[in-house]
Structure 1
Amino acid sequence: MTLTPSTLFARETIWQSWLDIEATLAEVQADMGMIPDWAAQDIRNAASLDVLGADALRADIAITHAPVLSMSRLLAQEAGDAGAYVHWGATTQNVMQTARILLVREADAAIRAALDLALSRLADMAETYAHTLMTGRTNRQHALPITFGFKVAGWIEELSRSLDRLEGGARRLFVLPFGGAVGAMHAYGGQGKDLNDRLATRLGLSPMIVAGRAVNDIFADYAVQLSLLAMSIERIAGEIYLLMTEEIGEVSERLDTGTMGSSTMPHKINPKYVVGVLSSAMELRCLAGTALETGRSSHEGDAVPNQLVSNLLDRAVPLAWTLSESFAALLGRTQVDASRMAANAHLSGGAITTEKLMMMLAPNTGRAEAHDLIHHALEHHAGPEVTVADAMLADKAITAHLSEGQILTALDPAGYIGDSARIACEAAALARGLIKAD
């Protein structure tokens, strides 16, 4: 079955994942001589929800309130004589946690694929708009000229850190928490470590020294990394959303023909994709607090945080999957209005480049004095009909050191973008280097 965010932790998906664990356990135990080969084969043949019947399993769980017990009981019945070897030395939490980790791994691969697509699109943006002039903003006010590629570079580098954290969380999570009733492999005599190592290898997981059932920090860790990923995506999408404001109008969404904006205002075409990304990101980010509650388990087993872990993952992982795909889709529909960016960069009449003017004055006056001279000129020569250039040229303390040509050239935003273009191209290369090959 092809998994999707909506089916990842569906009841039938989880039940089948438990059956798969039971069958794999039996096969490994048969390889080790713990149980007969024929028993492992018969258990594998019976380990299908289609064979057991979802309705029968559901009915038994309603009676026992012990889902894995009900599953192993029905599996034993369907396996015939091999049923005597079902769930050999295992405990409920071994099966549940291992199965859930394997399902998270499937989702993690899908999340990474979506983020790779997002990285590819961000790399294209950074390169395409490496020289595209726009206004840099600090405290939501015009600061210095930058390029749109530079802005995207910041998004790329932040996303690269999110990926690094997520990969670390995945490495720590994709382990085998299979240690029997309390984690010390009591039922397997001296073969416990060998069984654990072999089962981990078969499932593509890493073995643990203490494969206990109260080990929830690995789940909390991964969920927190997802929340941090959501935080970064939210910041990026939030900037895009703000740049879509009509008063700014520097980016927009490419919408399909026939898309409607408002049921009452015919002129409106509301953003469609960015709002969904922001909503999902906010929801996922807020699950970090819940994740930190899951690690408060006691002794060698505690059902309360274990149930909380399941509920957390049920929400966080599909949400992260959907968010990552929606984010990539948003980037694929983001359109840049370079002319509007340039126009906005010139709104201050060159005021956003007065740092350049200050640095040209500084060798003659000192940096602090140069700063105050320019600030004084802007403050005392301002007026509705006075441009920034007029104010600078009217101030003799400035013209004593700089010519009219130097002043006018310095006030051109396009000539003061720093290393924006270089940084944009370096970030594009970083993004492409992070993309995993198929």
Structure 2
Amino acid sequence: MNDITPETLFSPRMLWQSWLDVEIALAEVQAELGMIPAWAAEGIAAVADVDTLGLAALEHEAARTRAPIHALTRVVADRAGPAGAWFHWGATTQNVMQAGRLLLMRRAHREICAHVAGAVARLSDLADSHAETPMIGRTNRRHALPISFGFKVAGWIEELDRAVDRLLGMERRVFVLPFGGAVGAMHAFEGRGEEINRLMAARLGMRELLVPGRAVNDIFADYVVQLALWATTLERIAGELYVLMGEEIEEVAETLDAGVVGSSTMPHKVNPKLVVHVIAMAADLRAAAAPAMEGALSVNEGDAAANHLVARTLDRACPLAWTLSRRFEHLCANIAPSPERMAANLVASKAHAASERLMMKIAPELGHLAAHDTLHDIVAEPDISRETIAQRVVALPQLKGRLTLDEARDALDPVTYLGESARIARQGAELGRALADRLRGSE
């Protein structure tokens, strides 16, 4: 299944093959335990391939019986000869279908992690190279204090680090083997159910379940909810980039090819192309959380209605998460910051964003509250210049001439008032590179 893509992840061919892979593992383990003949396991493995069995034959039999795994058993039995009599020994449909789907989900999960690693590595470079690039910070969509662009990116990296913790942390809960027969109590395994589960889980790279039943839909809900949270993080970052790309701000742009057209009507327009797809796809993925949780409300020891809902939700959510992560990596690779525009917006800001520093300089003489209120009243005057602010503050009688005009001017310079942005940005870059290495190591 080397040709797997988001588009083919849960295609009929991939699903049938994943089920066959589970059946091969079952036969080999049962042969190892002496439950079926070794030659039978070999015969099953020899034909358990979609291309060998024929996708059309499998689909035809499934359409006739409306029972895909029963259809699989019939087709394999016809093709494997005597070995086919030992196929699907003691298993049940939901065991095979859920385990197979989990194998495909894990493949997608590895690809998601790889794309995340690429995105975080790029953001780490941006945080490092722009650790001291000044820009205006914004709160409540208004100018606040100066920061560096690297500081902003470091915040994205740390948020991604938390999101990745959730993604990787759920692996031990989600990638488990639900293989316990008709109701999960391993009735047909001759008292060897625990051994079968242990050996199959090892072969398939999964963990064991104490109760490997058919009502374990919470694990699928867990995965989709984590994907929805992941999408929320990507959407927040992309949404902020989208705002920074606006005509009035223009602090960030996308690197696009020369022939890109923004509008069929307006020749002058070149719209953002990459970020909008990330935002739309992330919103779509977030919406998958609700039906996934609904599907977790299965009844008794098995519930086909809940299973169908879970399968439908996974069919959308997993390929979408893979594509979204790939698109996000592409977006990060094509982020083009504009330090010149950031500096221009900062200097042109009417918010006098470094006023906090001047306030802290006069607070020892006036007290913090009085210093705040005095400066607030001064800067509230329409179109007041920094020079006028500096002159009025220096002239305050409470200061008794202890603050010079040059000191007041310097305090109001927003370009030099970045707090610890540079340190935080560089540490964010280190965090990002370690995260990228961690993700690559998990593949």
Q: TM-score range by the shorter chain?
A: over 0.9
CA distance in 2, matches of 1:171, 1:121: 28
Q: Does 1:209 align with 2:207?
A: no
CA distance in 1, matches of 2:26, 2:252: 54
Maintained 8 Å contact 1:16/1:49: yes
**Superposed displacement of residue 351, structure 1:** 0.8
CA distance in 2, matches of 1:104, 1:319: 12
Q: Mean Cα displacement is larger for which, 18-27 or 95-104?
A: 18-27
- Who is 2:388 aligned against? 390
CA distance in 2, matches of 1:82, 1:130: 65
- Who is 2:423 aligned against? 422
**Superposed displacement of residue 350, structure 1:** 6.6
Matched positions, count: 435
**Superposed displacement of residue 399, structure 1:** 6.0
Where structure 1 has 5 or more consecutive residues not aligned to the other structure, the ranges are none
Q: Does 1:366 align with 2:393?
A: no
Deviations 1:142-199 (A, max 9, x none): 0000000000000000000000000112221111100000111000122111111111
Q: Cα RMSD over matched residues?
A: 1.2
**Superposed displacement of residue 39, structure 1:** 0.3
Letter of the 1:371 counterpart: H
Letter of the 1:292 counterpart: M
2:209 match: secondary structure: coil
Q: Does 1:47 align with 2:22?
A: no
Letter of the 2:98 counterpart: Q
Maintained 8 Å contact 2:362/2:399: no
1:79 match: secondary structure: helix
Deviations 1:330-381 (A, max 9, x none): 01111011010011111225711101111111111111111001011123xx
CA distance in 2, matches of 1:75, 1:263: 55
- Who is 2:76 aligned against? 75
Letter of the 2:230 counterpart: L
1:155 match: secondary structure: helix
1:137 match: secondary structure: strand
- Who is 1:86 aligned against? 87
CA distance in 2, matches of 1:180, 1:301: 11
CA distance in 2, matches of 1:147, 1:389: 24
Deviations 1:79-118 (A, max 9, x none): 1111110100000000000000010010000000000000
- Who is 2:35 aligned against? 34
Listed as ranges, the matches of 1:279-428 within 5 Å are: 279-348=280-349, 351-379=352-380, 382-384=381-383, 386-395=384-393, 396-397=395-396, 400=400, 401-428=402-429
Letter of the 1:290 counterpart: P
Listed as ranges, the matches of 1:67-216 within 5 Å are: 67-216=68-217
Matched residues, percent identical? Answer: 53
CA distance in 1, matches of 2:351, 2:56: 73
CA distance in 2, matches of 1:123, 1:268: 31
Deviations 1:193-224 (A, max 9, x none): 11111111111111110001100111101110
- Say if 1:383 and 1:95 are closer, same or farther in 2 by CA, change over 3 A: closer
Maintained 8 Å contact 2:347/2:415: no
CA distance in 2, matches of 1:290, 1:151: 34
- Who is 1:267 aligned against? 268
1:239 match: secondary structure: helix
Maintained 8 Å contact 2:386/2:409: no
**Superposed displacement of residue 72, structure 1:** 1.1
Instruction: Give TM-score, length-normalised by structure 2.
Output: 0.96
Letter of the 2:44 counterpart: I
Listed as ranges, the matches of 1:248-267 within 5 Å are: 248-267=249-268
Structure 1 stretches of 4+ moved >4 Å: 398-401
Letter of the 1:334 counterpart: I
Letter of the 2:386 counterpart: V
Q: Mean Cα displacement is larger for which, 393-402 or 149-158?
A: 393-402
2:348 match: secondary structure: coil
Listed as ranges, the matches of 1:233-244 within 5 Å are: 233-244=234-245
Maintained 8 Å contact 1:240/1:251: yes
Letter of the 1:264 counterpart: T
CA distance in 2, matches of 1:196, 1:346: 66
**Superposed displacement of residue 319, structure 1:** 0.5
CA distance in 2, matches of 1:248, 1:271: 14
CA distance in 1, matches of 2:172, 2:141: 39
Maintained 8 Å contact 1:392/1:399: no
CA distance in 2, matches of 1:52, 1:254: 48
**Superposed displacement of residue 287, structure 1:** 1.2
**Superposed displacement of residue 27, structure 1:** 0.8
CA distance in 2, matches of 1:215, 1:297: 8
Maintained 8 Å contact 1:173/1:222: yes
Maintained 8 Å contact 1:350/1:388: no
Letter of the 2:316 counterpart: R
**Superposed displacement of residue 392, structure 1:** 3.8
Letter of the 2:228 counterpart: S
Instruction: Give TM-score, length-normalised by structure 1.
Output: 0.97
Letter of the 2:163 counterpart: S
Maintained 8 Å contact 1:350/1:412: no
- Who is 2:67 aligned against? 66
